[in-house]
């Protein structure tokens, strides 16, 4: 299936996990992909994987929390490929689980700086570009199950992901008439580096997270990438939506 042939997709946090799986899937389905990440090695590895599979990709380093770097990312992407049709604002962090909520302002600023400010900055540049082209395009943000639910010992993370849903809904409403469709994916547990970092050395941590999901396992990054591509392509009547992909968590 080459349903994204001739299209240009930008994925942040594409050096690993969900972002990498999304970048690879876009490339498999015909898009030219801008792979962006703050981590250069991971980003370049994603490009190599895409090229080895016969796809087209280019790495642009960017810390999404930095306003100037985000502006430069979008400018460089447009210079390279002429336009961006599909943006996926996926870069995010989820610091190690602590027994008690961590109320340090440094942690709060770091988490919201990347998870919320980063998405805000990327959306602002992407929307301006899509409008300048006369409208049209899609944006998918990576929220979380924590966009819908509080997490007892992670107030800042949960707040940042609730806010991503607020940005998605608000901008989704405003720009729908300009043909810019804005949605979010809201995953439950996904087996990626973030999950490993998050659980630290916690023995049996992944099994505990899996057991917590009604489906009895965590997701593979490819299952989230599938949903991101659906929202970017076939989901032509879906606007301002936060799509839960949570193995049944929210049903309980």
Ligand X SMILES: NC(=O)c1ccc[n+]([C@@H]2O[C@H](COP(=O)([O-])OP(=O)(O)OC[C@H]3O[C@@H](n4cnc5c(N)ncnc54)[C@H](O)[C@@H]3O)[C@@H](O)[C@H]2O)c1
Least gap, CB of 124 to ligand X (angstroms): 15
Select from 204, 220, 126 the least CA-distant residue to 171.
Answer: 126
Q: For residue 100, give every residue at least 6 positions away whose Cβ sits within 8 Å of its Cβ, in sequence order, or none.
A: 153
Does residue 72 belong to the site contacting ligand X (CB under 6 A)?
no
Dihedral angle, C-alpha 71, 76, 82, 87, nearest 10 °:
-60
Determine which residue in the list 7, 8, 19, 126 makes contact with ligand X, applying CB under 6 A. Answer: 19
Question: How many other CB atoms are found less than 10 A from the CB of residue 27?
Answer: 25
Q: Among residues 81, 148, 157, 175, which one is catalytic?
A: 157
Instruction: Say whether residue 195 binds ligand X (CB under 6 A).
Output: yes
Alpha-carbon distance of 41 to 43, in angstroms, equals 5
Q: Which range in 2-10, 12-20, 104-112, 229-237 contacts ligand X by CB under 6 A?
A: 12-20
Q: Is 242 in the site for ligand X (CB under 6 A)?
A: no
* Dist. CA 27–CA 55, nearest whole Å: 5
Q: What is the 3-state secondary structure (H, E, C) of 54-123?
A: CCEEEEEECCCCCHHHHHHHHHHHHHHHCCCCEEEECCCCCCCCCCCCCCCHHHHHHHHHHHHHHHHHHH
CA–CA distance, 59 with 246 (Å, rounded to integer):
30
Nearer to ligand X, 11 or 171 (CB): 11
Among 7, 8, 11, 17, binds ligand X (CB under 6 A): 17
Shortest approach of ligand X to residue 199 CB, angstroms? 10
**Total residues interacting with ligand X, rule: CB under 6 A:** 31
137, 172, 189, 233: residue in contact with ligand X (rule CB under 6 A) = 189
74 vs 123: CA distance, rounded Å: 10
Q: Which of residues 85-114 bind ligand X (CB under 6 A)?
A: 90-94, 114
Sole binder of ligand X in the list 25, 26, 29, 42 (CB under 6 A): 42
Site string for ligand X, 196-225 (x = CB under 6 A): ------------------------------
Per CB under 6 A, 37 contacts ligand X? yes
Residue 157 appears among annotated catalytic residues: yes
We find the least distance from the C-beta atom of residue 96 to ligand X, in angstroms, to be 12
Contact in structure between 155 and 107 (CB atoms under 8 Å): no
Distance CA 216, CA 202 (A): 19
Contact set with ligand X (CB under 6 A): 12-13, 15-19, 37-39, 42, 62-65, 90-94, 114, 118, 142, 144, 187, 189-190, 192-195
Question: Which residues are tagged catalytic?
Answer: 157
């Amino acid at each position: 299936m080459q349903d994204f042939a001739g299209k240009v997709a930008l994925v942040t946090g594409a050096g690993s996990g969900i972002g990498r799986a999304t970048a690879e899937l876009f490339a498999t389905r015909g898009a030219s992909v801008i792979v962006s990440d703050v981590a250069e090695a991971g980003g370049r590895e994603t490009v190599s994987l895409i090229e080895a599979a016969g796809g087209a990709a280019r790495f642009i380093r960017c810390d999404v929390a930095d306003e100037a770097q985000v502006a430069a990312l979008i400018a460089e992407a447009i210079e390279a490929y002429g336009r961006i049709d599909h943006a996926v604002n996926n870069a995010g962090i989820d610091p190690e689980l602590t027994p008690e909520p961590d109320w340090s302002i440094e942690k709060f600023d770091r988490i919201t700086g990347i998870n919320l400010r980063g998405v805000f900055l990327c959306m602002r540049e992407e929307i301006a570009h899509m409008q300048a082209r006369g409208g049209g395009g899609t944006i998918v943000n990576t929220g979380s199950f924590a966009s819908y639910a509080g997490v007892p010992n992670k107030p800042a993370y949960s707040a940042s992901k609730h806010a991503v849903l607020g940005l998605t809904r608000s901008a989704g409403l405003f720009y729908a008439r300009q043909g810019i469709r804005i949605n979010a994916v809201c995953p439950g547990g996904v087996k990626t580096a973030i999950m490993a970092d998050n659980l630290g050395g916690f023995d049996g941590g992944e099994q505990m997270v899996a057991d917590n999901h009604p489906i009895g396992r965590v997701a593979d990054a490819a299952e989230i990438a599938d949903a991101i591509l659906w929202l970017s392509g076939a989901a032509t009547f879906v606007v301002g939506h936060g799509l839960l992909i949570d193995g049944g968590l929210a049903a309980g």
